[in-house]
Structure 1
Amino acid sequence: MSEYGTQFLPRMGPGPSVVVAGGGTAGHIEPALALADAVKRLRPDATVTALGTEKGLDTRLIPARGYPLELIPPVPLPRKPTTDLLRLPGKVRGAVARVREVLTKVEADVVVGFGGFVALPAYLGARGRVPIVVHEANARAGLANKVGARFAAAVVAAVPGSGLPDAQVLGIPLRHAVTTLDRAGLRAEARRRFGLPPNGPVLLVFGGSQGARSLNGAVAQALPGLLHEGIGVLHAHGPTGQAAPPQPGYVPLPYIDGMHLAYAAADAVLCRAGAMTVAEVSAVGLPAVYVPLPHGNGEQALNAEPVVRAGGGVLVPDAELTGDRVLAELVPWFREPGRLAAMGAAARASGHADADERLAQVVFGVLGR
């Protein structure tokens, strides 16, 4: 149980109706669904409804997890507030009206938003009608959450310094299958599943659902050296990414279905530094070489900094990622199992595996006021 205890759990009468708004990308949807799962674990009588759009991954991910999906018109977000946004142009007005219909239909008690183009109309539609909880997963808050935080009942962030005032730092809600993962117990099964060697170290490489060209190229260059060292490689290269042909010890896949098994099979990770990636990799106790995206506002490097500072990984700039750099960073880890174990422990200690239930307690606390 979280540090907030059980003081907010008892509530007589019908269970609470919680609406989550985290559509568009997996980085917004997965934390919303992890919270939904935690709410249902703690309050089986609760109902959870998800807001989303026909674009993105909403229609695939949300119904598959068993939650009703209410579609709203997509609202593209500018990077900065504009006079058009403040005047509520037609698309925003239509989306806000649709949100209010949904809130009435499901008799919503609270709206929990996770940023993105679904969250902004959710915040505006709930304002003055239903209390709002804002969760920011990234090291730098986006526009939707900056707007929502101005009139939210509670504001939560994954890491310090998000730019949202008075935010409680709780981490990112993660799937229960990840936070309760028994890597050692699943190791043999996971390696059989992927066709990896049953013994010896394994490196997991992935760059998100679409892969990452620089990671793919560096792995191709480093592969002979990795295999020579007896290091197996499980490589998710993306649906259009290039990879070396399969060979003993090397398993390339366009996409990994069952990521928790990939974590169980691995001993270290080479990956990007998106907020969800950093949260999951650290929660399962895997040391990682984080390679932040080379564009944007630099938030990916900030996402990984707490883990790196704790000793659970290293940061390598995208422009410096080569096959030689991969070997230089990773081979010494695999040659020293004690060092690898210590880094994994540091990674786990830096994470927030209980963020789903802690956020659920914040939500219950808002309902209890």
Structure 2
Amino acid sequence: MNGATRGADDLNGTGFASGASARPVFPFAALVGQASLQQALLLAAIDSGLGGVLISGPRGTAKSTAARALAELLPEGQFVNLPLGASEDRLIGTLDIETVLRDGSVRFSPGLLARAHRGVLYVDEVNLLPDALVDALLDAAASGVNTVERDGVSHSHDASFVLIGTMNPEEGELRPQLIDRFGLMVELQNAFEPQVRQAIVKARLAFDHDPAGFCAAHAAQQASYVRRIRAARAALPLLSFDDAVHARVSALCIDAAVDGLRADLVMLRAARALAAFEQADAVTVRHVECVADAVLLHRRRQHDAQRPDQEQQQGGTRPHEDAGSAPGDQAAFATSSADTDWGYMPPEPAAAVPVKSVIPLDAKKR
């Protein structure tokens, strides 16, 4: 829920929810003012191949609360937290040293990726996580498989999970090469509307006062989410894309000047997941429009420079050619441009400086 405190979302020392003995989790259905975030999380839960969700926002906007709430809707309800100080072995798994010393046999010791299978893998402040760990995370999130080839171990296992990374822009940005690998991104803002702010606070106070009663009041909505996620996963293979959907996706990605084709693929998959969640018969352009912002938010590039095709359409006009300049000035510019490389200033004469105490050589010694 927006505005919830981080302390209410702490995990036990293992990084997992404590099961039945854990404190109740704030219900996903009770989140207030988080429609865009709820949609992105549901899409990632329906199609884990989207690559996860990156949530950017200031402190206290309940990023971790939403992540934990989503885990309650998944089959196993597993919520795995990846600490910033975790090693690569801890993440992907490694050789079981105890088995080697005891039995002399090679055995794989699973890491957090294996334990997060069919659940949520949560990374707080992912922009501060070492790049090697982020690469491994995103590879597994996109493929659904974790492959380990090291220390005499060759092992692969399923690692289908919902990757949720959060970051505070004030603490540093994520490298562009990595941020593009997240399928969807949502940017949260502080709530400054009085009614929304009051609703958030009232919901949080009601949950803190009587967690069990609060969860019971939203149990029907929670059960509905679980059923719809399960049904949407089953419906994914039955939905296809017509030419109109492909055309709209291409137009949006071209207009955003994205790099590569990853945005197109993610947008199609996200639109299909939304159509499946809504129990639609086909993927439509409306589904594309509904997911476009989350797909393009972190991929959109500024149109500071014109593309080559745009320059050709404009006749190759350069900013130096002022329409109000005299013909003689334009001719001089054209002449200098032909003799020099574009972007470099023409050479200018410099005055010679005499050097003292130089003894000239004889002509035959030169």
TM bucket normalised to smaller: under 0.3
Q: Which protein has the larger Cα radius of gyration, Structure 1 or Structure 2?
A: 2
TM-score (norm 1): 0.24
Decide which structure has greater strand share.
1
Decide which structure has greater helix share.
2
